[in-house]
Amino acid sequence: MEDDMVGNEKKQYTTVTITAIVALIIGAGIGFFIGMGQSSVAPVQNNQATVSTIPIPSDIRSLTGTVESVSGNTFVLAVEPGIFGQNLSKRTIAITSNTKVFTQKEKDSNTLQKEFDEYTKLEKSNKDTTPPTPPSPFIQSSASMSDIVPGGQVT
């Protein structure tokens, strides 16, 4: 009689398990077909390509890149694509009296390492909530039109 009870419990457990699996499969299938039939799916998918989460600035006041050519008071700057995804591959820059141009040169590796070591010490001893500014790998200096040469890095 005990074997009958154990056998019935196994049958009941198996029946409940199979029923749950079948219900899960049927529910997933119904949910899939209902989701495919929603009328808002197509408009949302079409708008996804045009929606930008970050607004593109209307007036760009700073560019950094490599000088391609220089002619008179203008030069062509090869710029990497920006974070906004717009194509900024080449820009012609006209120098006026209000234009500020800076050249960038890579720092010597020993100098950069010393600055990084000092930064690390400051960071470890920093008790304030504002962390220290990390060292820049470039030396940035003010430039005139005569300092701008093809192949140079400018901002």
Question: Does residue 20 register a pLDDT over 90?
Answer: yes
Cα four-point dihedral sign 143, 147, 151, 152: negative
Q: Say what the pLDDT of residue 138 is.
A: 84
pLDDT confidence tier of residue 21, bands split at 50, 70 and 90: very high
pTM of the model: 0.46
Identity at 41, one-letter amino acid code: V
Token code pair at residue 83: 């974070």
Q: What is the mean pLDDT of residues 7-34?
A: 88
Do the beta carbons of residue 143 and residue 154 sit within 8 Å? Answer: yes
pLDDT tens string 127-138: 777 778 888 888
pLDDT tens string 81-134: 666 556 667 888 888 888 888 877 888 889 888 988 888 888 888 777 777 888
Q: Taking the domains of the chain in order of start, what are their residue ranges?
A: 2-48, 65-154
Q: Say what the pLDDT of residue 17 is.
A: 94
Tell me what the pLDDT averaged over the chain comes to: 78
Rounded Cα gap, residues 19 and 24, in angstroms: 9
